[in-house]
């Protein structure tokens, strides 16, 4: 059975390059020329796989939804305890610190850019946040905080976003580590009240 370099492979190659470039430079600032250079494909070829640049954006968001879901699932497999799973979430600020100091959070910056552009895909990009929000909520429910689970999920998400934004502005790794430690302390204080 021979290896088949099909249209699907080329399409995936385009989407993966666009995923990275939309993150690093922003959606609008990324040109077809940028994607062509990154993939080694010609500009014209993109239109065999997508009708417009917006369709590439849709595909990038769909890819991120899949990748994010897989990441959340891997955190669940890695840790049976909800507090450890939430710590996996908090750790990405440190794991991805270099990229974050350069380009912010991929989710937050995309949502903000699309909101400013009044882009039709703005709601779809918010779905990436919803993925994290719902998953965190489940962990807080498992922690015994069912009543406040959504507010706690939003709070954790909010602080991760704030850290990412200031880390991008100040390029301060020590700040990231300090705030992640603070978040872990906060998480530790969220254990069930009576147990």
Partner DNA sequence: GTCTATACCTCGATAGAC
Partner DNA sequence: GTCTATCGAGGTATAGAC
Binding footprint of DNA on the chain (CB under 7 A): 5-7, 9-10, 30-33, 40-45, 47-49, 51-54
Q: Which one of residues 31, 81, 182, 191 is an interface residue with its own copies (CB under 8 A)?
A: 182
CA distance 111 to 65: 14
CA distance 154 to 140: 11
Token reading at 192: 């069930």
For its own copies, the closer of residues 48 and 170 by Cβ is: 170
For its own copies, the closer of residues 46 and 129 by Cβ is: 129
The mark string for 12-51 relative to its own copies (x by CB under 8 A, - otherwise) is: ------------xxx-xx----------------------
For its own copies, the closer of residues 10 and 165 by Cβ is: 165
- Give the three-class secondary structure for 117: coil
DSSP 124-135: HHHHHHHHHHHH
How many residues are there in the chain?
195
How big is the site for its own copies, counted in residues (CB under 8 A)?
38
Token reading at 166: 């200031």
The mark string for 124-153 relative to its own copies (x by CB under 8 A, - otherwise) is: -xx--x---------------------x--
Judge contact between 150 and 134, C-beta under 8 A: no
Give least dist CB 10 to its own copies, A. Answer: 27
CA distance 30 to 138: 36
């Amino acid at each position: 059975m021979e290896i088949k370099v099909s249209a699907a492979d080329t399409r995936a190659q385009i989407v993966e390059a666009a995923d990275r470039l939309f993150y690093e430079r922003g959606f609008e600032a990324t040109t077809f020329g940028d994607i062509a250079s990154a993939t080694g494909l010609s500009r014209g070829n993109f239109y065999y796989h997508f009708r417009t640049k917006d369709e590439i954006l849709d595909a990038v968001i769909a890819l991120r939804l899949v990748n994010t879901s897989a990441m959340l699932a891997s955190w669940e497999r890695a840790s049976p305890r909800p507090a450890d799973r939430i710590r996996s979430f908090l750790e990405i600020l440190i794991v991805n610190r270099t990229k974050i100091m350069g380009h912010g959070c991929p989710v937050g910056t995309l949502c903000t850019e699309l909101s400013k552009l009044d882009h039709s895909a703005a709601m779809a990009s918010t779905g990436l946040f919803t993925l994290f929000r719902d998953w965190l909520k489940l962990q807080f429910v498992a922690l015994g905080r069912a009543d406040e689970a959504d507010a706690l999920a939003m709070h954790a998400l909010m602080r991760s976003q704030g850290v990412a934004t200031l880390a991008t502005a100040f390029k301060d790794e020590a700040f990231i580590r300090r705030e992640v430690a603070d978040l872990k302390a906060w998480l530790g204080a969220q254990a069930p009240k009576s147990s």
